[in-house]
Amino acid sequence: MAGSLVSVSGKSKLNLSSKKFVVVVAEWNEDVTEALYQGAYHALLSLGARKSNILRRNVPGSFELPLMAQWAAEKKDIDAVICIGCVVQGDTPHFDYICQAVAHGIMNVNLMTKKPIAFGVLTTLNKKQALERAGGKYGNKGEEAALTVVKMLETLEHKG
């Protein structure tokens, strides 16, 4: 992703008004994922997407993100998917298994559908780190995920 991006300004090189996006949001750690969703949603709007072309789909947790992303990306009228989630490390290896499965699952959806699928999933050691990346001192990683799919759509448009 963009890394140091703090805010999105300007319009995309593409006309995004005809592009359709799905933002898949995990309900677990909802205070964090809602802030990430808001970042992604407002970034898409500021880049030129239409409100009516930004669809939201909720899933129970981050583990379910890849399947919903696949369902969304398989639809012909969907141009890109943004996956929003937050996994905070606990006392057991559960964190490692979930993070790895989600990352691999989302990557596989990218490759299988050949559509941009953004990994807007925070994998943090604690809730404070998550909040710092959901609109806090490290920006909003949901915003960065939106910028990522737009940049990939631009790349797709100009490839070959």
Q: Which positions are annotated as active-site residues?
A: 94
Residue 95 tokens read as 């964190």
Q: By three-state DSSP, how is residue 131 classified?
A: helix
| Whether 123 contacts 72, CB under 8 Å | no
CB 65 within 8 A of CB 85: yes
Spatial contact of 141 and 120, defined as CB atoms under 8 Å apart: yes
**CA angle centred on 23, ends 109 and 57, rounded to 5°:** 95
Going by DSSP bridges, is the β-strand pair 117-124/134-136 parallel, antiparallel, or unpaired?
unpaired
How far apart, in whole angstroms, are the C-alpha atoms of residue 36 and residue 62? 13
Q: How far apart are CA 45 and CA 76, in angstroms?
A: 22
